Amino acid sequence: MVVTTRSIMENRVDSLEQRMSHMETTVEQILFKGEDAYGWLVRIERYRLNGVHTQDKVDAVILAMEDKALNWFQ
């Protein structure tokens, strides 16, 4: 089997697309609008993504913030 730069890049793109799709679903599950912070924290403490890098998890949480929560974070 010959491994080319193109095939390596295609595999990386496929992997990234799969991770992003999973993250979109996860973001919907952990959406926080600035209310019920304790309930949100309970859900976040149970938030585990096996095989996903820590930075990707942080990015997913940031993407899930809206309204007051996003304003506070900024």
For the cut 60, the answer to whether the pLDDT of residue 6 exceeds it is yes
Q: Give mean pLDDT, residues 47-73.
A: 74
Structural contact between residues 45 and 8, judged by C-beta atoms closer than 8 angstroms: no
In 3-state terms, what secondary structure has residue 66? coil
Number of domains in the chain: 1
The DSSP code for 51 is T
Domain interval for residue 31 = 5-73
Convert the pLDDT of each residue in 14-37 to its tens digit: 776 777 666 666 666 667 778 888
Q: Given pLDDT bands bounded at 50, 70 and 90, which one contains residue 62?
A: confident
pLDDT at 64 over 70: yes
Residue 72 has a pLDDT of 82
